[in-house]
Structure 1
Amino acid sequence: MRYDLDDLRLFTSVALEGSITGGARVMHLSLPSASARVRALEAQAGVPLLIRERRGVRLTPAGATLARHAREVLAETVRLDSAVASYVVSRAEPIRLVAGGSAMHLLVPAALATFLRDHPEYDVNVKERRTNRSVRILAAGEADLGVILDDEPTALRTEPLADDSLVVIGQAGGVLAGRVSIAYAEVAEHPLVALDRGTPLALWMEERLGPQAPVPRYRTLVPTLHTLITLASAGAGLAIVPRRAVDTIPSIDICPLQDAWSTRAHLLCYAARAPEAAHLLAQHLHAAASVQA
């Protein structure tokens, strides 16, 4: 026998609602139309599928079997649609997003996860760039949207996104225990772990510390914030990281820096001709920032 998928959807709705009226409402059908389709389904099956009562319907053994298999068939069609859709090439140009290393740690992945799920028609090209370079790229129209720091002047449209202030972290119960703040000069007296010197955060700090800043002992330099946080948490040394990267980690000591340069924020920056899709992605970045706040 050949079954119509809409008839199967109607029948599973009737079974779930306990009435043809309820099934018709779910399927946005008139009651006469839904009743006729159920009767046609019973005729095709050759056995009664429903026991009609004054207050609704009950499934016959054959109806229960049909409803169970129908749910499996409908679930499989959803998986089939999803599998085929994954091969569909987006008809729109990819959204071009640029962001610094701090934003790339948690904020951008969280926003992309929801955006790509909710908007399968769009793709996103992501590149990690320092703020000064991101601004130049956006001004030249070579990117559509950027997550930048608030210390780079630009005539492009910007809007506040999230705090990105820096803090010192260390192993719980270590030298930071009980401290409410600390100056970088004191931090530099302790062994540190840090990001590679070519990473955006390391370059940003180097520019602000200047040649007169104390030179710390770096026990190791690593390429990612995840590795850096893991080492600092284990007691390998103190580390300077964005607070948002560690706010949800209970097993470390976190201490704000007293230095003015440690206070900074993320902005969203739009290219002059940012497409509508970039504004949709911006909404997801705002949502991800509010969840992590």
Structure 2
Amino acid sequence: MRFDLVTLNLVLAIAETRSITRAADREHLALAAASKRLKDLETRLGVQLFERRARGVEPTEAGRALVRHIRSLNASLHALESEVVEFSRGIKGHLRIAANAAAIAEALPADLATFSREHPQIRISLEDMTSANVQSAVAEGRADVGVFAPPLVDQRLATWPYRAGELAVVLPQGHALARARGGLRFDALLDCDMVGLHIGASVHELMLQRALERGRTLNARLQVRGFDAIAQLVGEGLGVAVLPAVVAERFAKLFAIQVRPLDEPWARRRYLLAAQAQEVLPAVVQRFIDLLAGLAAASESTAPLTGANP
């Protein structure tokens, strides 16, 4: 069965505008022609794609499935066009990476620099997303590679182990918990106001889950975007926070905060590399994953032994 892009984009427009009339106008089609295209497509597929409701048309389950595939197709076509155009500029590929904030702050910069030095003709773009959004972006073709913190929730992905990171507790200077020696248990934080990232961020979701397991709630007083904002707010005494240890130690040199290890098994996290599950990966994606996974493995094999949990 063959599909034409005009009809597929019309279906997408109908889904987004909830109107055949507005969709036809957006796609520069006569209303009669748009209606015929939709009817012919439904006849060929043998399913109804839209239902008429009081407030417009709504996609059926089959319609929503088709729209997901159209969006993925459009993303692939856009990537194809961008990559082919870049060949004329001497660039031999374009790698779109989506990663969560912690992975960007803890691990990626040096590894991206290594990859760029070895492949100077491959252009890299990097977007900061939550771990859940990273997975959907890769699965739907809006990104070529993802880096995120588990759990893996999208089974359309193939994953590879990447680097490990530690979480730490960030406290205002002089805070009562800062007097304790060694690490802090998560229970000790549940009576405190928390400063953290927005809903959907992996650390926030992890703490929510652990609090619920204890029958407690998380006192999320302030939620912001950016680790630097969290460190500044903690430094002003507005709460405590849990951040990647590398990031926390970096900000301890700039703001009035103290850092303590988080004494929990889940405080040590392993980031994952992800790509769409397919038999053969695009060459540039395979090179990137091979390099980063290899760098991570080499780093672990040469790291000194500590008392940390594996």
What range is the shorter-chain TM-score in? Answer: 0.5 to 0.7
Partner of 1:62: none
What corresponds to 1:177 in structure 2? 179
Structure with bigger gyration radius? 1
Tell me, in whole angstroms, the C-alpha distance in 1 between the residues paired with 2:249 and 2:295.
17
Which whole-Å deviations, capped at 9, do the CAs of 1:3-32 have from their partners, x for residues lacking one? xxxxxxxxxxxxxxxxxxxxxxxxxxxxxx
* TM superposition shift of 1:118: 4.5
How far apart in 2 are the matches of 1:198 and 1:155? Answer: 20
Write the deviation string for residues 52-103 of structure 1: whole angstroms up to 9, x where unpaired. xxxxxxxxxxxxxxxxxxxxxxxxxxxxxxxxxxxx8354341121211211
Which structure would you say has the larger RCO, counting Cα contacts within 8 Å and 6 or more residues apart? 1
Q: CA RMSD of the aligned region, Å?
A: 3.7
Residue in 1 that maps onto 2:162: 161
User: Conserved in 1, the CA contact under 8 Å of 2:168 and 2:248?
Assistant: no
Where does residue 231 of structure 2 map in the other structure? Answer: 229
The one of 182, 190, 196 equivalent to 1:188 is 190
Does the CA-based 8 Å contact 1:97-1:146 persist in structure 2?
yes
1:38 counterpart residue number? none
After TM superposition, give the deviation of residue 173 of structure 1 in Å.
5.0
Change in Cα spacing, 1:194 to 1:137, as seen in structure 2 (3 Å) is closer
SS at match of 1:209: helix
Matched residue count: 206
Instruction: Say if 2:221 is the partner of 1:214.
Output: no
Aligned residues of 1:168 and 1:239 also touching (Cα < 8 A):
yes
Give the corresponding residue for 2:275: 270
Distance 1:222 1:136 in 2: 23
Residue identity over aligned pairs, in percent, reads 24
Answer yes or no: is the 8 Å Cα contact 1:111–1:288 preserved in 2: no
Q: Does structure 2 retain, via aligned residues, the 8 Å contact 1:100–1:128? A: yes
Please list every run of 5 or more consecutive structure 2 residues that lacks an aligned counterpart in the other structure.
Answer: 1-87, 304-310
Asked if residue 125 in structure 1 is aligned to residue 132 in structure 2, the reply is: no
Q: Does 1:95 align with 2:102?
A: no
Cα 1:136–1:236 shift into 2, 3 Å: closer
Amino acid at match of 2:288: L
Report the Cα offset of residue 194 of structure 1: 1.9
Asked whether the equivalents of residues 108 and 285 of structure 1 are also in contact (C-alpha less than 8 Å), the reply is: no
Counterpart-to-counterpart distance in 2, 1:100 and 1:150: 11
Letter in 2 for 1:274: L
- Matched residues in 1 for 2:132 and 2:195: separation? 25
Q: SS of 2:151's equivalent?
A: coil
Judging changes above 3 Å, is the alpha-carbon distance between structure 1 residues 264 and 179 closer, same or farther for their aligned structure 2 residues?
same
For 1:242, the equivalent position in structure 2 comes to 244
User: Structure 1, unaligned stretches of length 5 or more?
Assistant: 1-87
**Residue 99 of structure 2 corresponds to residue 110 of structure 1:** no
The DSSP-based 3-state class of the residue aligned with 2:122 is coil
Residues of 2 paired with 1:107 and 1:90: CA distance?
29
| TM-score (normalised: structure 2) | 0.53
Match of 2:134 in 1: 134
Following superposition, the deviation at residue 264 of structure 1 comes to 2.2
Tell me the CA shift for residue 114 of structure 1.
Answer: 4.0
Distance 1:193 1:156, change over 3 A: closer
Residues 196 and 158 of structure 1: is their aligned pair in 2 closer, same or farther, counting only changes over 3 Å? closer
Give the CA deviation at 1:257.
3.0
**Does the C-alpha gap of structure 1 residues 286 and 205 become closer, same or farther in structure 2, counting only changes over 3 Å?**
farther
